[in-house]
Amino acid sequence: MESSNEAQPESDEASHVQAVGDAIPRDDPELAHLHKSICLLLAAIESLPALSKEDMEVNEAAARACFARALRQLRAAQMLVLWGYYSEIGLVLRGAYESASLGRMLAKDPEKAERWLRKGQWFPESAVRSWLRTGGAEDDTLRVYTDGYRVLSAWAHPTAMSCAGLVDFLSPQFGLRLWASFDEAQFRRWVREITATSIFACFAMRNAVVDETVLSPAWRRDLFALQETVSQKTLPHLHRDWDAEGRRYEEYRSQVQSVVGADERLDEHPGSWRNVSRRLSI
């Protein structure tokens, strides 16, 4: 491959990025959906109780770390679509997909969380898929997960599909698109993909907690409504009596005790397993 000895032009990437930003439609509803979906994931993570390192169980620590990475990757994808770097979004989104899926698995499997966090063991996507299958995940859940990962993988790797968009086939000579530029079709495609992956991460987090009723009813209502809006489908399995959900949520909050100091309370309570087993062994 020959190279030119001519002086190379100075990079003026900022002006190209600015041009992309100027071309993005203002008050775009699909962009608003993207922002809402990422904000929902952020709100769910920030709503988790603050715990000391001593009170944090290994599966919860591992899951929180994975969902934090998923959030950052989704934010990175958002910046890429706003800057016009469409060809790089699939790679980042696949990472977010993996992080959220792994977070769900580690939250439910302390033994795997222990190996992941303390021993540095890596669990590939196939291991997560296998865990979902053996855990009794519904066929639709497995299909959505598998199809989503396959699509993003095709864009994450340097396939002809992911690289062809960087070639300017309309130019008389072989030209390459080296600078950020606005493309309406690519913009639309990736805004929808980022939104879908953000919603996927939110549902993964919902499934990672002990029960969805521990999550704010307002948060769940907003997530379910956004999913229906984006999918343009009525999803009866997501419908709830939100007044009843609100009352149940407040009742749980008033009765469930914090994990902080749990060991001390279990040592003192005569009905705890450790005290009952101690009495029966005497």
Specify the pLDDT at position 253: 84
The pTM assigned to this predicted structure is 0.85
| Rounded distance between C-alpha atoms, residue 36 and residue 195, angstroms | 8
Section 36-58 average pLDDT: 91
Place of tokens 């302390």: 110
Could you give the count of Cα atoms lying within 13 Å of 128 in the half-sphere of its Cβ?
Answer: 23
Residue type, 212: E
8 A C-beta contact, residue 146 and residue 122: no
Instruction: Specify which of 4-13, 201-210, 249-258 reaches the highest per-range mean pLDDT.
Output: 201-210
Section 144-162 average pLDDT: 84
The DSSP output letter for 236 is G
**What are the residue ranges spanned by the domains of the chain?**
13-240, 244-282
Q: Which residues lie closer than 8 Å to 99 by C-beta, 6 or more apart?
A: 66, 67, 69, 70, 73, 201
Q: Could you read off the pLDDT of 179-199 as tens digits, one per residue? A: 888 999 999 999 999 999 999
Specify the pLDDT at position 103: 96
pLDDT band at 272 (very low <50, low <70, confident <90, very high): low
* pLDDT above 80 (res 135): no
